[in-house]
Every structure is written in structure tokens, then in C-alpha cells.
Amino acid sequence: MVRCSIELLKSLNRSFTVLTTPIVMEHVTKLLADYNADKANKWQNKDAALSMITAIAVIRESNLGGVTETNSAIDVVDVFSNLVLPELNSAPNPMLTAAAVRFVITFRNQFGKQHYGHIVPLLIGLLTREDVVVHTYAAAALERIFTVKLAGEGVYGRADIQPHLTNLFNNLFVIVANDEPENEYVMKCVMRSLAIIGEDVIVVTEMLTTKLTTALGIVCKNPMNPHFNHYLFESIAVLVKNVCGSNPEYVNR
């Protein structure tokens, strides 16, 4: 029902943006006021408000490329700063945290490097959350962010990721070790991260080799998720290419 309501709202907004936007924002303001008056018991109000803002803020989007056009009446970056960032920083409610991460995934093209400088470390931290919905969304968000390009160049690239390599891979592989069934979004994030960092992987090669071969040994005994297996093999292939391409001596290790 909720998904159908949001899809209806999206359709109305695309055809009647000028009429729909102020009506929806009036309801959003009321929902947020109720939430702020009783955050412990009215968290659903903020969740609904973020969903409604997203529905009317998106004008055009592609399945893989994200949002390409937004509602000029909605300042997506302002919404992020005031409503989303606090949930990424310190939010005890996993559903609101997941909603905040979904917002980042949806509007990833609307953020610049200065925003990702704050967002990426927070997402890496969220990988440590026990809530499956939170760490899965965090991994998916990181993987999508690493694909965002501006003028043909990655917005958050190799040099930006390098300081976070150890934390990023340690946190991802804690999930790999604990999740049943295998989490394909986490392994896809591993694969994407390896593809971005290139030869910088040398500093964490031993750790990655151990973690990937351990994961491979487990799935060989009882393969459960073909997508996970695919990203696992891709990760191993990218690791070998990155390490051995410029360091042939590693082939014999």
C-alpha cells in the first residue's frame, strides 16, 4: 500500500508539479512537527516525510544512473543537511537510518565531492551496525557512490578512498563472515572498491587474500546465492589484476 501510494504521488507530481509540491510539503511539515514533538514514538512520521519528499523531488531518473532531474522547488542538498545527515551521524532507529541511506542512494548524482567527504566515512561506520537493513543499504550506497561520475571522472575516486581502505574492507568482511545467506550487496561493494583503488590495494592485499579465500571456501561447500558468488569471483579476479599487474613477484606468493 505504501509503495503504491508513493508511486501514485510520483506520477501526480510529474504531471502536476506546481500543484502537487505545495500540498505535499504542507503534509511533510506537519509530519516533521509531530516527529519532533515525540521522536521516540513518532519515528514513522519522519520516515513518511522523507518518502514523500523523495517522491516529489524526483522528476526524471534512470534505473542504473540515478536521478537526472529534480524538482526545482525542492532543495535536495538542504533536505540532506537538515533531515538526512543527522540520521547518518547518530540515529538509534534502524528504519530511519535506512531511510536516510536510501535518500543518499536516490540523490547520489546531486551531491558533490565536499558532501561525499562527510557521507562516505559515515557509511563505512554504518557497515558495523548489526541491523541487516542498515549495513546492507550502507554497502549498496557505497557501491553506487563509487560509480558516480562528473565530466567522465569519478566524483569519489582512488585518492579519496585510500585513507579509508582498512576500515572499509574490515567492516565489509565482518558482514561477509557473519551474514547468512551471503549478502550480494556487500560483496558487490567489495568488488567495486577493488576496481576503484587499483594498485593502492597493496597495503591490504594479505588481509583481502585471506578474507576472500575464506569466503570462497565457505561458498564452495554450500553455494546459496549466485549473485554473491559472481561478485566474489570478480573480486578475486580484480585483486589479482591489481596486485600482479605491476608486481609480478606476487604471482608466486
The total of structural domains in the chain comes to: 1
The pLDDT value recorded for residue 180 is 64
Q: Is residue 3 part of a domain?
A: yes
Q: Is 165 within the bounds of a domain? A: no
Q: Are strands 66-70 and 153-154 parallel, antiparallel or unpaired?
A: unpaired
The verdict on residue 117 lying in a domain is: no
pLDDT for 33 equals 97
153 assigned to some structural domain? no
pLDDT at 65: 77
Those residues of the chain that have pLDDT short of 70 are 1-2, 91, 151-152, 179-181, 247-253
Q: Which domain holds residue 53?
A: 1-111
* pTM over cut 0.75: yes
Residue 244, in any domain of the structure: no
Place of cell 593502492: 200
Taken as a whole, the chain contains a residue count of 253
Q: How far is Cα 187 from Cα 220, in angstroms, rounded to an integer? A: 16
Dihedrals phi, psi of 223, to nearest 5 degrees: -65, 130
Answer whether residue 178 is part of any domain: no
pLDDT value at residue 250: 62
Output the pLDDT for position 50: 95
For residue 249, the model assigns a pLDDT of 65
pLDDT of amino acid 84: 95
pLDDT of residue 178: 85
Percent pLDDT > 90 in the chain is 68
Q: What is the pLDDT of residue 5?
A: 78
Cell of 90: 547518530
Mind listing the pLDDT tens digit for each residue in 26-72?
Answer: 999 999 999 999 998 999 999 999 999 999 999 888 877 789 899 99
**Long-range CB pairs of 133-136, under 8 A, 24+ apart, other chains included:** 133/94, 133/95, 133/98, 134/94, 134/97, 134/98, 134/101, 135/175, 135/186, 136/183, 136/185, 136/186
Q: Does residue 215 form part of some domain?
A: no
Residue 57 belongs to some domain of the structure? yes
Phi, psi of 73 (to 5 degrees): -85, -10
